Amino acid sequence: MKRPIRSLRVGQLDHLVDTFFFCPSCTTVRLAQPSRPCVPKSLPSKPTRRCASTLSSRTAVNAVKNIPTRYQGLYKALGDVQKNASAQVNLSRLRLALQGLESETPTTRVAVLGLDTQETARRLVRLLLADALVDESQWEKELTSNIQELGPDVVIRYGDSPSPNLQPSKSAVPVLYIPSNVLEINNIEILVSSINSLRNGELLHGSETITSDAFLSPSVGTPTSAYGRQTTIGQPVHSTLLVANGLDDLLACAELLASTNFVAREDRESVRIVVNLQDLKEGSQAKVLIVDALQAEEGLSAIRRSVREATTYEHKWVNSGLPALSDWLTQSSALHSNKSMPPSIRSLTSSILSNAARNLETQAKVDAQSDTAKRLSTAAQTNLEASIDEFSRNGHQELQSGLGSAWSSRNWRKLAWYKLFWRVDDVGLIIADLVSNAWLPKTERAVYELSGRLSQVGITPVEASPPITSSEVLHESDAVATSPATPGTILQAQATLASDGPLEAVLENTRGTTSVRMIPMRQPSPLSLSISRSRALQMDAAIADLTSTAQQIVLKFLSISGLSAGLSTLAYLSLTPGSVYEAGTIFALGTAYALWRMQGDWYKATKALEDRLLDQGRTVIQHIVARMRELVKNAATVQVDQVELQTRLDAEAAVKRAREELDQLD
């Protein structure tokens, strides 16, 4: 009998532990398990538990949203607008529109904005939400009296006030929960804030024009630190009620609205004005609502004193104009609509798309004007092309005449082949003097002049620099290779070669090993330096080649002459004594051959130098002319950034598709 009793106690203990001692994160699992009897049958079954990390909450961030079927196309299209046209729309208003499409009963946000102050606005909100059949509630006192405690801005939502013992929830804007039937039935939340009037009552023009976001996405300050610093954020709403207290405020509101740029018609229709005037005689059905808050407060106080004064309350309430304001608040709700899409949601979505289309159109016009301003005029293009043609003709003429004069000059005749014996050391000096003075000196000055004219019209005369590729072979002093390639190695290589100027990191893959190679970047050089740079290169090459050739020619002559002298000496000694004629003939023939070779080699070397300088001069002139014509052509042609153009086209397509989806909804 002991074993069954022991089993029974173990089963009861398991049940008690499972019932009263559990992990709070596993509460869902415990409650989902079926109840078990306290007494197990034979062996107690061990409860199966799951880790809390495997459970997904309904409020998970990545939860799938149940979008109504009729809104799915528009919802996806607005998502594309948010992705492709985020710079042209108010993202906070767009998110509000998306939230309105995520439910069949969306919440409507209404802003009640006071002009410079919120006193009258809070009085009207209290009158709209107060229950006349009950005594004054605590929230009424908080709304109208504790302005400093609630803050300058407050959001009013339906609900019971939280317990004062609980820590208040953190939110960007203070929230006041009110158990009002108006908020519950219409599913409305109200933002009470203020808007500044114009300074000195003057209308704004041009760039100072106020946007519609000042009314439909009012800026609200939220504290960011304990020292009082605030950050301004936008609170998007579906419609706005602008409250004016008296005729002066009414005129200020009119000036404020006149200075506002309402791009979309829906934006202007979403803003209404209500003015508080005492001794009101008749109501108004115009766009300006006229109310008398004092009469409404007197009527509310009368019925709260005694139900027998209901007639007084009714008369004062109707005469105050509050019923028209209540009707406007009810019509602003998204719940009271017979159409498939509530007017408030449609108006908000249409406004967003209209503003996006207008912004895209404005951006396209600005880009077109900017491209037109940067484009070279036809007259300037014609003048520059004529100057470039004249420069080309003058350059080729100078090249022909300059080199022709150089080859017939006295300095060049100093390098005759028979003068090399005592002029061989002067070859470099004479070549440098000839190339410097005869190879395109006037053309170089003309390049500077044309470069200045190009700069005056906004064209930067620089050489076209091709990009550096990783296949280029570099010297060990110009590159540093490390393996593997990491950001640290790139920074280290840049620090090592920083003295060489700007560097470019090139990744190379050799035998499966990735290395980084730092290459000095090619900086675009001015076009005016093309001739001087080419002249220096040609001068160095000509001096080196011609000096070496002259030395080799003289050495060959001496070698052949010496060889012929040796042969003549051998002939004189080997033949009959006295045969000086034969020995002299051999020496004379050898010397003549050496001189002939010397003359021919020097002629070939100088002729090659003349042809090389002429060809290089033509190449440089053609390159400069082609580059200048290319710069002028590019300046005269509108250069469109393909990335920006494609981005704008994608945004326009997304807005157009969203508009089509909106039009399909009745």
User: Of the ranges 83-97, 222-236, 438-452, which one carries the lowest mean pLDDT score?
Assistant: 222-236
Residue 59: the pLDDT is 47
Say which residue, 78 or 514, is predicted with more confidence: 78
N-term to C-term CA, the chain: 79
Task: Tell me if 103 sits within 8 A of 229, measured CB to CB.
Answer: no
Written in H, E and C, the secondary structure of 444-456 is HHHHHHHHHHHHH
Instruction: Look at residues 318, 264, 265 and name the one whose alpha carbon lies nearest to residue 295.
Output: 318
Q: How confident is the model at residue 263 (pLDDT cuts 50, 70, 90)?
A: confident
pLDDT tens for 116-163 read: 888 888 888 888 888 888 888 888 888 887 666 667 788 899 888 776
Tell me the average pLDDT across 286-302.
82
Tell me the average pLDDT across 220-238.
75
Does 458 score more than 90 pLDDT?
no
User: Of the ranges 220-224, 482-486, 646-650, which one carries the lowest mean pLDDT score?
Assistant: 482-486
**Alpha carbons 121 and 113: distance in angstroms, whole number:** 7
Task: Tell me if 258 sits within 8 A of 289, measured CB to CB.
Answer: no
Q: How confident is the model at residue 95 (pLDDT cuts 50, 70, 90)?
A: very high
- pLDDT mean across residues, the chain: 76
Does 657 score more than 90 pLDDT?
yes
pLDDT tens for 19-29 read: 544 454 444 44
Would you state the structure tokens that stand for residue 141, as one six-digit string? 């006192």
State residue 108 phi and psi, 5-degree precision: -100, 130
59: Cβ contacts below 8 Å, ≥ 6 apart: none
Q: How confident is the model at residue 48 (pLDDT cuts 50, 70, 90)?
A: very low
Residue 279: the pLDDT is 60
**Alpha carbons 47 and 539: distance in angstroms, whole number:** 96
pLDDT tens for 314-334 read: 888 888 888 888 888 888 886
State residue 283 phi and psi, 5-degree precision: -80, 175
**Alpha carbons 33 and 27: distance in angstroms, whole number:** 10
Task: Tell me if 229 sits within 8 A of 223, measured CB to CB.
Answer: yes
Residue 487: the pLDDT is 46
Residue 338: the pLDDT is 64
Residue 514: the pLDDT is 53
Does 283 score more than 60 pLDDT?
no
Task: Tell me if 195 sits within 8 A of 242, measured CB to CB.
Answer: yes
Q: What percent of the chain has pLDDT over 90?
A: 10
Residue 55: the pLDDT is 40
Task: Tell me if 516 sits within 8 A of 490, measured CB to CB.
Answer: yes
Written in H, E and C, the secondary structure of 247-287 is HHHHHHHHHHHHCEECCCHHHHHCEEEEEECCCCCCCCCCC
Instruction: Look at residues 268, 298, 286, 271 and name the one whose alpha carbon lies nearest to residue 324.
Output: 286
